[in-house]
Homo-oligomer: A and B are copies of this chain.
Amino acid sequence: MGARAPRPGVPVRGSESGRPVMAALDLLGRRWTMRILWELSQAPTGFRELQRRCERMSSSVLSTRLDELTGARLLTLHSDGYHLTPLGQDLVEALSPLDAWSRRWARETDNAAAED
C-alpha cells in the first residue's frame, strides 16, 4: 500500500512544476485508471466484480490502481464495494464529454474508412 500516486503540488512524471493538471494527466494516463472510474460511476462495485467488468484486467494492477485512487481521495471502500467520493464523482463528470466525443469520433472514422 505505497503512497506513490501522483498528487497535485508534487512533481510527477513529465512535469516538475507541480501544476495540478499535470498530476491529473499522469494519474489518468495509467492503464485502467479511467476505466475503473468509469465503471464505478455506474455503481459501487467489489474487487472481483470490478475485475470481471473490465474483462479480466490483472488483479495486481487493479489492486495498485485502487490504492492510487484511494490515496488520491477519489475512492473509498465500504461494505458494498468501492465508491466514488464526491471528488471522484466530479472527476467522472469532468470526463463525461468524452462519451459524446467518442461517438463523433466513431462517425468520422466510419466516413473516412468509406472514402479509402
Contacts and interface: CB of A to CB of B under 8 A. Distances in A.
A7 interface: yes
Interface residues of A, number: 47
Q: How many chain copies?
A: 2
A41 to B, nearest CB: 12
A25 B16 contact: no
A2 interface: no
A100 interface: yes
A78 interface: no
Contacts of A91: 101, 105
15 contacts: A9-B106, A9-B109, A14-B55, A20-B105, A24-B102, A25-B34, A28-B98, A29-B33, A72-B105, A73-B108, A87-B105, A90-B104, A91-B101, A94-B97, A94-B101
